Amino acid sequence: MTASILDLHGISRSYSTRQGLFGKKVPVHAVDEVSLSLKEGQTLALVGESGSGKSTTGRIALGLERPNSGYVLFRGTELPAADTPAWRRMRAQMQMIYQDPLAALDRRLSIIDQVREPLDIHDIGSASKRNNKALAMLDAVGLNASHATSLPYQLSGGQRQRAVLARALIMQPALLVCDEPVSALDVSIQAQVVNVLMDLQKELRLSLLFISHDLKVVRQVSQRMAVMYLGRIVEFGETHLLLSSPTHPYTKALVSAVPVAGRRTRERIILKGEPPNPAARPTGCAFHPRCAIARPECVRVSPTFSTLPDGRSVACHAVHTNPPTKEVGS
Amino acid sequence: MANLAGTAPASALPAAWSSQPLLTIEGLTVDFSGVQVIRGIDLTVARGESIGIVGESGSGKSVTWLAALGLLPRTATVSGSIRLDGEELRGAAAMRLDRIRGGRVAMIFQDPSSALNPVIRIGRQVGEVLARHQGLSGSSIRAEAKRLFELVGLPDAGRRFDAYPHELSGGQNQRVMIATALAGKPDVLVADEPTTALDATIQAQILDLLTTVRRETGMALVLISHDLGVVSETCERIMVMYGGLVVETAPSESIFASPRHPYTQGLLAALPPFEGALRRLIPIEGQVPEPATMPPGCPFAPRCPQRMAVCEVTIPPLAQTEAGRFSACIAGPATEAQQPLKLKTSVLA
C-alpha cells in the first residue's frame, strides 16, 4: 500500500456573485464536500465539464485558494496559509501547469532564463550550475540548446508546453497539478507531451493531479479518476473500471460521448438539457434534471456515497439500492 | 418506378462520384502576401453527402472554405474554380454572393458567442436571415423562427425569440447558430469546428443534431474538425489535409481501418486508444511546416518515417489506390499495398 501524497478532506469553496447588475448576492458552490486522495507516484484524473469545479479543486490542492471548510493534507501535514514562508517552502514541492503555455510564459524572456528562474529565486547552487541544470531539464523534456535561447513566440505550441513543464519540474517537485495540459495541442504534438510527462513521472516519481475533459488522454495517463458534476464527485475509482463499466448515469453519458475514430454506429447516450448553472444548483442530486433514471427521491435527497465491491465510490440513489453485481462479467 | 429501382443499386455505390456534384472546387490556391497557404485543392460535394475535413492547425482546412465562399480579406489572392451547381463563385458579384451565402451555402463557426450579435435578440438575428433569404415578414418570421428553434432542440423555443445571446449557454448559442444557418434552407452547411468549444455531452448533442438535420432536410454537410473521432462518427467521407494539400480521401469506414497515407497513419497512431490494451503513444516527430518555409517536395516528407529521396523533390499527386480512395504518397502505396495494386493492374490489363 503506497502512502498518499495529497489528501483532500471534505473541502468546499463558494463564491458570492450578484444575480443581475443590482441583484442580491447569492453564493455559488464551486466545490462542495470533495474528498480525494492521490497516492505517491500515481496519477489521479479529475474529469468533468466546465463549471464542475475541477480547476478550483486543483487550486485548492495547491493552497492557491482556501477552502471554506475542509482541509488539505500534503504528505500528512496540513497546508499552511498561502503567502507565508512555510507555504512557500512547501510550494516548491508542488507545481502547476496550465492549458495555454503562451500565457504562462514571459514573452520577453528567453526559455532558459524562465526555466532557470525558480532556481534563481530560491537561490539554489552557483550561477553556472543553475544554467547547466536548466539545460539538463530542457534536454529531459526534449528541447535543445537552440530552443533554450529562443523566445516563446519562436517555439511551437508543443515545444512551449514542454518548456513550461521543464520550468515546473526544475525544483524537483513531488506533486504536479496539470490543468488541461494537452487540450490546446494538435494530436501529433499531444502524443509527444503525454509521453514526456509519463516518462518524467516514472523517472522522478512524480505524483500527478491531472485535470482534463479528454477521457482518451485520462485513460492513457491515470490510475484513478474522479468524475465531478456541479462541484461534487459523482464517481471515484480506478480509471479502467470507470471507463469500461461506468456506474453513475453521468459517467455513463460522458464515456459514451467520447468520439472514437473508426467507430460509427453505436448507441450514444444523448443527455437532455445543458449543464446547469452552479448558481442555480438543482435540489437533491444535481444531475437529476438530465438523468434518464431519475426517481422522485433524486429531486429531494442528495445521494451519499456507496462503495462497490471493486472499491469504487458512487453517489447515486439507483446504484445504492441496486448493486450492479450482474455487470461484473462484462 | 421500375427504372428507378433498377438504377438505385448502381448509384448507391459510388454516389459521390457519379452523380452531378452540388459543389465543385478545382485547383483552388490561396496566397497571403506571396506565401501560398492552399496549394491546389480539388474536391466535390454531392447532394446530401456528409464530408469531414481533418487536419492539424495550419493545414489549411478552414482557409479552403473561407476562400470558397469569398470570405477571405482582400490581402488574400484566390485562384482556381468554385462552382455551385455549375455557377462559378470565384469573382462573382458581391450581390450574388450575398444571395448564396446564408442562403444556399451556410457556414457556422467554432465560437457561437462571437458569431452572434450580443445586443440583438436571437429571434431577430434568425429573422434577418428569414427576411433576406425567404422573403418572410411580420408574424410569419416569428412562427418560422419558433419552428427552427424547435427543430434544433432549443428548450422553451417560443419564449427564446426575445432572449439575448448572453442569456443562453454555449451549447444553446450553437443551436441558435445552426437555426440561423438552416433559416436560409441551405443545400450545403459548412461547419467549422462547431463543437470544439463545447463540453463533451453537449458536443454529442450537437453532432447528433447535425446528423438528424442532414437526414431530414437532405442538405450536404461539410464538417471541419481537428478531431478524428468527431468526423469519424458524423461523416461518410473523410478528407485529410496537410500543408495546404489534400493528402488522403476515403470513405469513413475504410480510412480508419486501413489508412493509406503515412500522415493519416501517424495521426491514428498518435491518438490515445479508448478501447483495448494501453500502449505507448507514437507521436509524429517534428512539427507542421510553416507556409513560408514549406518543403519543396511532399509537405509531410520531413516528418515521414517512409520518406525516400524522391519525396523531398516531388509533390506526389493525389492518386487512386482503390475504388473511392485516393492518397498523395509515392512511398506509401508502393510499400503498403504493392500486392493488391499489381493484381488490380493485371486484371485491368
pLDDT digits (tens, 9 = 90+) for B130-175: 999 999 988 999 999 999 998 888 888 888 899 999 888 888 899 9
- Read off the pLDDT of each residue in B58-70 and give the average, rounded to a whole number: 92
Q: How far is A32 from chain B, CA to nearest CA, in Å? A: 21
Whole-number pLDDT of residue B3: 41
Cβ separation of A188 and B169 shorter than 8 Å?
Answer: no
Instruction: List pLDDT tens digits, range A19-44.
Output: 766 777 888 889 999 999 999 999 99
- B282–A contact, CB cutoff 8 A: yes
Q: Where are the domains of chain B?
A: 19-242
pLDDT at A329: 39
pLDDT confidence bin for A321, thresholds 50/70/90: low
Across chain B, mean pLDDT equals 86
Mean pLDDT of B103-122: 90
Does the beta carbon of A21 lie under 8 angstroms from any beta carbon of chain B?
no
Mean pLDDT value of segment B89-101: 92
Give backbone dihedrals phi and psi of A110, rounded to 5 degrees, phi first. Answer: -65, 160
Last residue of one domain, picked from the residues A119, A147, A172: A172
- On the CB side of A215, how many CA atoms lie within 13 Å of its CA? 27
Residue B334 has pLDDT above 50, yes or no: no
Query: Do A248 and A263 belong together in one domain?
Result: yes
Chain B's closest residue to A252, CA to CA, is B201
| A99 domain-assigned | no
The beta-carbon neighbor of A188 closest among B155, B203, B284 is B284
Fold exhibited by the domain B19-242: Rossmann fold (3.40.50)
Q: Within this chain, do residues A215 and A144 fall inside the same structural domain, yes or no?
A: no
B-facing residues of A in 129-148 (CB < 8 A) are: none
Cβ–Cβ gap B278/A220 under 8 Å: yes
CB atoms within 10 A of CB B267: 25
Query: Which domain range does residue A309 map to?
Result: 4-93+173-329
**Residues of chain B neighbouring A271 (CB-CB closer than 8 A):** 201, 204-205
Residue carrying the nine cell digits 489572392? B77
Q: Are A49 and A110 members of one domain?
A: no
What pLDDT is stored for residue A234 in this prediction? 96
For residue B268, give Cα distances in angstroms to A312, B148, B226, B246, B258: 32, 37, 12, 17, 10
CB-CB contact of B232 with A260 (8 Å): yes
Question: Same domain, yes or no, for A52 and A194?
Answer: yes
Residues in A touching B257 (Cβ below 8 Å): 262
**A55 Cβ under 8 Å from any chain B Cβ:** no
Question: Are residues A192 and A165 part of one domain?
Answer: no
Same domain? A247 vs A185: yes
Domain boundary among A144, A172, A200: A172
Asked if A33 and A232 count as a contact pair (C-beta separation under 8 A), the reply is: yes
Cβ–Cβ < 8 Å for B53, B239: yes
Quick one: A244 and A131 in the same domain? no
Question: How many domains does chain A divide into?
Answer: 2
Residue A101 forms part of a structural domain = no
Contact A160/A102 with Cβ under 8 angstroms?
yes
The answer to whether B252 contacts chain A (CB < 8 Å) is yes
State the CATH number of the domain containing residue A266: 3.40.50.300
pLDDT at B56: 86
- Asked if residue A261 and residue A231 are part of one domain, the reply reads yes
pLDDT band of residue A265 (cuts 50, 70, 90) is low
Clarify whether residues A118 and A84 are in a common domain: no
Could you tell me if A75 and A224 lie in one domain?
yes
CB within 8 Å: A260 and B233: yes
Interchain pair A194, B155: CB under 8 A:
no
DSSP H helical ranges for A105-186: 111-121, 127-140, 145-148, 157-169
Coil, strand or helix at A180? coil
Using N-to-C axis directions, what is the helix angle for B170-183 and B139-151, rounded to 10°?
120
Residue A68 lies in a domain: yes
Asked if the structure places residue A98 within a domain, the reply is: no
| Interface pTM, i.e. ipTM | 0.84
Chain B contact for A191 (CB, 8 A cutoff): yes
pLDDT in tens, A202-220: 999 999 999 999 999 999 9
Confidence of residue B332 (pLDDT cuts 50, 70, 90): low
The predicted-structure confidence for A236-260, as pLDDT tens digits, reads as follows: 999 999 999 999 999 999 999 998 8
Final residue of a domain: which of A156, A172, A188? Answer: A172
Say if the Cβ atoms of A268 and B229 lie within 8 Å: no
Residues A60 and A118 in one domain: no
- B252 with A256: Cβ contact below 8 A: no
Same domain, A167 and A184: no
